[in-house]
Structure 1
Amino acid sequence: MAYLLAILAGILNMLQSGSNATLAQKLNVGPVVPALITYSGGILAVLVASPWIGRSLDGLGRNAATVPWWGWIGGLMASVYVVATLTVAKGMGAGVFTAITLTAAIITSLVLDHYGLMGFEVRQISTWRVVGGLLMVAGVGLIARF
């Protein structure tokens, strides 16, 4: 089930890029309003889904004190992705945009796993993981060029 959810998230992430880019292009008001619309839709979706995915707010204050600083900035980081989809994705094309963002994510994930950063369990880097990352970089070049 976890793998299916990850596949769905990847598909929806790319579809989101096209949706966001079209919204920004058609509204033609810059990236701020489309970004607010995008996040409003996300908030609404989480609220609607909360009976099935949520948990009680009991202990929120107590638990909040245990969250490291980087645990609070996920939305800020996600906003960079949303702004990119609003401003550059359509000009690059879906293939190039996805190749670049996915390759950057893969290389970052290798570092996060190797050092166990940001709460990830340590998964030592291996020659094959490095080769995979390099193949991703080569793939970006091929997709961007042809």
Structure 2
Amino acid sequence: MLLLYGVVLIAGIANAIQPGQTTQLAKSLGEPFTAGLISMFVGSAGMLAIGLLSGHLSVPSLQQAGQAPWWAWIGGLVGVGLLIAQLFVAQRVGAAPFLGLLVTAGVVTSIALDHFGLVGFDVHAAGPMRLLGGALMIAGVSLVALS
């Protein structure tokens, strides 16, 4: 479990760095949408390479594809929304407020997703400690964003 938490910590660090990378590419190219497309292409190429190298890449059958709920197919669009926010908001508000708000919104939303068992998550009740944790994150990000 400790190794998994380490992977999540590295992903969090990458999540803090990526907006700067993407916006710098947009500045260098002079066009944010071109930079966003390149970022998505490089990410897709990376997924393809890792999938091929690991042997865990296959074309799903029609039956498998039909078993996925409709909302599972639009995850890439959610990624596009995040990328657009990085391109047009991150540099303006700063790295700390941007990531703080992003993570806090994610944690508060995740508490609700867990509590109600939405979008494929198992039910994990939003007990007092989880609610307090969400409230403390809101307080913390307020201090970061408003200072």
Q: Which structure carries more relative contact order (alpha carbon 8 Å, separation 6+)? A: 1
Residue in 1 that maps onto 2:54: 52
CA offset at residue 107 of structure 1? Answer: 0.6
In the superposition, relative to structure 1, how do residues 53 and 136 fare at CA in structure 2: closer, same or farther (>3 Å)?
A: farther
CA offset at residue 26 of structure 1? Answer: 2.3
CA offset at residue 53 of structure 1? Answer: 6.1
Q: Give distance in 2, aligned partners of 1:53 and 1:107.
A: 36
Q: Give distance in 2, aligned partners of 1:42 and 1:108.
A: 25
CA offset at residue 128 of structure 1? Answer: 0.9
Q: Which stretches of structure 1, 4 residues or longer, exceed 3 Å deviation after superposition?
A: none
What does 1:44-123 align with in structure 2 at a 5 Å threshold? Answer: 44-50=45-51, 51-52=53-54, 54-57=56-59, 59-123=60-124
Alignment TM-score, normalising by the size of structure 2: 0.92
Percent identity between matched residues is 38
Residue in 2 that maps onto 1:25: 27
Residue in 1 that maps onto 2:134: 133
- Report Cα offsets for 1:24-57 as digits up to 9, x if no partner: 222222x321110010110111121112162433
Alignment TM-score, normalising by the size of structure 1: 0.92
Q: Give distance in 2, aligned partners of 1:135 and 1:112.
A: 18
Q: Secondary structure at the match of 1:117?
A: coil
- Report Cα offsets for 1:81-128 as digits up to 9, x if no partner: 100111110111110000100010001000100000000000000111
Residue in 2 that maps onto 1:142: 143
